[in-house]
Amino acid sequence: MTSTSNFAKSLDRATPSVDWDTVYATEMPRVFNFLRYSVGNDMLAEDLTAETFRKAWQNRHKYDHNRGAFSTWLFSIARRSAIDYFRARKPELPIESLSNLSANDLSEATIQQQEELMRLTTILNQYPVRERELIALKFGAGCSNKEIAIQTGISETNVSTLLHRILQKIREAWEVNE
Amino acid sequence: MNEQFLYGLQKSPRPEFSAALLNEINTHHSVENNHRYIGVSPWTIGLASVFLILTLTFAFVPSAQALAVEFLQKIGIVTFEEKDQINISRAPNAKGAITITEQEARDFFVLPFTLPMWVPEGFEVNPVFFRVDAPIEELPPVVRSQWHGDRGYIDLTIVPNDKKWEDRYKDRPENVGPGSVEEVDINGSPAALISGGWTADKIPEVGETLTYSWSSEPGRGSILWVQDDLLYTINWTYLPDTQDPIQNDEIIQMARSIP
């Protein structure tokens, strides 16, 4: 039996129709993976995830359900965090990622997955921010095309078309690198 | 390299990170509480707590129409009145609400209950959203489950249809907007289907009284009926961006799928 956390209880008061423990349990991994696909680095993704939730917490009274679902609002903060990161950083490839893994993480499968994520983000880094964002929302956060359309303001049809094109570009780049 | 491959690069956050972040926010919460910080956002009050939900749910049903009074008396716990506007003072959130698993809810609840076998496409149940609200001496046990999707939220509340509820609502007329209620059949029992809900300009503070107007916009409503000595209530509400609000017929189908 799980007690409702202080986080949930307090947010309940501000937005009473949302189950905040469930929001944290379901949305935090999605936000983390969105940022992970965006920046290609687990530790950095953790930092940006924490920053996202801190901002959400600090600005929770500004959330207006009339303007969208809570997850939409949360992802708008996460997207801003990612954009701010890319604006602030020097252009570089995420080659430092492996050094951030702890000894417990160094299984063969983990290393391979991390290498593949790095390879993906290396490819994505050559694309415009919007295209990177679409991939991170789709495959990192697991958003539906409709959710992505709401997030980005692009029509659902355009989201589908753009994703198709970007995937084609990634496939080609992936094969070239093999 | 295909789509499945790209999805396969996801990983779960480290448990230590997840716990540490939640702990940090909780600690921050405690500090803010010491400074009497109260966050407010402009939510309407329909789903604030089980207590609030039930109060407002029953507030949705009118008595002005003879037909409504007649069939609602068969449900047997509430008197009803139609109004254009009402004043509501926000009650405190339910105390002691806990989140438990479905099995725990079944073990704890006083009567066996059943859940819908069908929900509208695209809606998923919150896996740990069953709640039994305490203290039991103040309120009978309440089981609540919520489904969410791109089109909105659907909330199911189950309470025993016993004398406590009858006493609670005796001599207390409850209110809904004009013409908002109709009778439908759910598994052989009369059910009150209410289209719309009360809306205010902002979310009140606990104890604050606001004037609410009835909103009949689609995608929002309530239905309540008695089945197997249990009072079932389903509330639903839309998400602002949806072009496809939840339809009454879908909720009726969902209610009828409770065996």
> Which whole number is the average pLDDT over B141-165?
78
What are the tens digits of pLDDT across the range B31-58?
A: 443 322 222 222 322 333 333 333 333 3
| CA proximity to A4, closest of B44, B122, B132 | B132
Q: Which residue of A has its CA nearest to B100?
A: A1
One-letter identity of residue B191: A
Examine the pLDDT at A141 and tell me if it is beyond 80: yes
CA distance B232 to B77: 13
Q: For residue B1, what pLDDT band results from cuts at 50, 70 and 90?
A: confident
A101 and A110 Cβ atoms separated by less than 8 Å: yes
pLDDT at A138: 92
Cβ <8 Å between A17 and B46: yes
Q: What's the average model confidence in pLDDT over B121-139?
A: 57
Which has the minimum average pLDDT: A126-130, A165-169, B118-122?
A126-130
Closest CB from A15, A22, A113 relative to B9:
A113
Question: Collapsing DSSP states into helix, strand and coil, what is residue B185?
Answer: strand
* Sign of the CA dihedral with B30 first, then A27, B109, and B174 last: positive
**Portion of chain B with pLDDT greater than 70, in percent:** 58
The pLDDT of A137-155, averaged and rounded, is 89
Integer Cα distance of A91 and A117 in angstroms: 18
pLDDT digits (tens, 9 = 90+) for B206-227: 777 788 888 888 888 888 888 8
Report the alpha-carbon distance of residue B157 to residue B144 in Å, rounded.
Answer: 4
Res. B239: pLDDT tops 70: yes
Take residue A56 and report the two structure tokens written for it: 């959400």
3-state SS track over B81-141: EECCEEEEECCCCCCCCEEECHHHHHHHCCCCCCCCCCCCCCCEECCCCEEECCCCCCCCC
pLDDT in the model for residue A31: 95
- pLDDT: is B43 or A36 the higher one? A36
Per-residue pLDDT tens digits for A44-95: 888 899 989 888 877 777 777 777 788 888 898 898 888 877 766 543 333 3
What is the separation of C-alpha B56 from the centre of its chain, rounded to a whole number of angstroms?
Answer: 9
- In this prediction, residue A6 has a pLDDT band, given cuts at 50, 70 and 90, of low
Nearest-Cα distance to chain B for A65, in Å, is 6
Q: Print the SS3 string covering B13-66.
A: CCHHHHHHHHHHHHHHHHHHHHCCCCCCCCCCCCCCCHHHHHHHHHHCCCCCCH
User: Is 90 exceeded by the pLDDT of residue A43?
Assistant: no
**Residue A1: closest CA among chain B residues belongs to which residue?**
B100
Considering chain A, what percentage of its residues have pLDDT values greater than 90? 19
Range from A106-110, B65-69, B158-162, B215-219 that averages highest in pLDDT? B215-219
Distance in Å, alpha carbon of A117 to nearest chain B alpha carbon: 6
For position B100, what pLDDT does the model report?
A: 63
Looking at per-residue pLDDT, the higher value among B179 and B70 belongs to B179
Residue A40 confidence (pLDDT): 82
Which residues, numbered 31 to 50 in chain A, qualify as contacts with chain B under a Cβ-Cβ cut-off of 8 Å? Answer: 32-33, 36-37, 42, 46, 49-50
- The residue with greater pLDDT, B98 or B90, is B90
Q: Taking the CA atoms of B124, B126, B127 and B133 in sequence, report the sign of the dihedral they define.
A: negative
How is residue B218 annotated by DSSP? S
> If you ran DSSP here, which 8-state letter would residue A153 be given?
S
Query: How much is the average pLDDT of A145-161?
Result: 89
pLDDT value at residue A111: 64
Nearest to B28 among A4, A57, A150 (CB): A57
Does a cis peptide bond (omega within 30 degrees of 0) precede residue B190? no
Q: Do B41 and A63 touch (CB under 8 A)?
A: yes
Three-point CA angle B235, B53, B41, nearest 5°: 100
CA-based nearest distance A99→chain B, Å: 16
A62 touches chain B (CB under 8 A): yes
- Best probe of the A interface among B5, B29, B108, by most A CBs < 10 A, is B29
Return mean pLDDT, chain B: 68
pTM passes above 0.80: no
B146, β-bridge pairs: B155
- Top mean pLDDT of B37-46, B56-65, B69-78, B222-231 is at B222-231
Distance from CA of B138 to the nearest CA of A (A): 20
pLDDT at A90: 41
Q: Say whether pLDDT at B160 is over 50.
A: yes
CA gap B8, B2 in Å, rounded: 10
What one-character DSSP code corresponds to residue A4?
Answer: P
For B127-144, give one letter per residue: b (16+ CB within 10 A) or e. Answer: ebbbbbbeeeeebbbbbb
